[in-house]
Amino acid sequence: MDWDSDPELKKIRQEFVDSLDERIEKLDEALVVLEETRDSEGEIRDAISLIQHIAHKLGGVAGSYGFPALSRISAALDEYVDRARDDETDEGSMADRVQRYGRILGDAISEARNGRDPAALCETEIVAELERLAGVSK
């Protein structure tokens, strides 16, 4: 899609890119909870749910705006959380992984915020690990 072909289309895309600031902010807040709050299961669970929600929403929209790599990483994190819950992974292990993958998602969102699809991140070992655990094929 040629995003510069129509001024209104260009504006809509820029609004999406601008909205990434708020998503980064919410993601960072949830990641801080995972880093600092290991005594409250409820807070950990809520933080993981919020991170998954951010990932789920981004997974469904970013690719449509020309950021397929951001969608890919987001969808993998969303899928990982579902699988970890289905497998009854212990909360501590899940929190560690979600924190780790959440940081990568934050990096990916920052790249997109600067107008670049984070394709290079998709080639890293950590994303390969995330996709393997999520059961996502490339």
Partner 1 sequence: MSEADKRILLAEDEAHIAKLVEFKLSRDGFELSVAENGQVAIDRLKDGPWALIILDVMMPVCDGWQVLQAIREDSALGEVPVLMLTAKGQQKDMANAAEMGATHYLKKPFDPGELSETVKRLTSGQEG
Q: Please answer whether residues 31 and 106 qualify as being in contact, where contact means their C-beta atoms are separated by less than 8 angstroms.
A: yes
User: Could you count the other beta carbons within 10 Å of the beta carbon of residue 71?
Assistant: 22
By beta-carbon proximity to partner 1, the closer residue of 34 and 67 is: 67
Return the number of other C-beta atoms located less than 10 Å from residue 77's C-beta: 29
Among candidate residues 66, 135, 69, the one with its CA nearest the CA of residue 105: 69
Q: Shortest distance, CB of residue 2 to partner 1, whole angstroms?
A: 11
| Residue ranges binding partner 1 (CB under 8 A) | 1, 8-9, 12, 15-16, 19, 56-57, 59-65, 68, 71, 75, 78-79
Specify the residue, 38 or 66, whose C-beta has the smaller distance to partner 1: 66
* Minimum distance from residue 49 beta carbon to partner 1 (Å): 14
Q: Whole-number minimum distance, CB 91 to partner 1, in Å?
A: 23
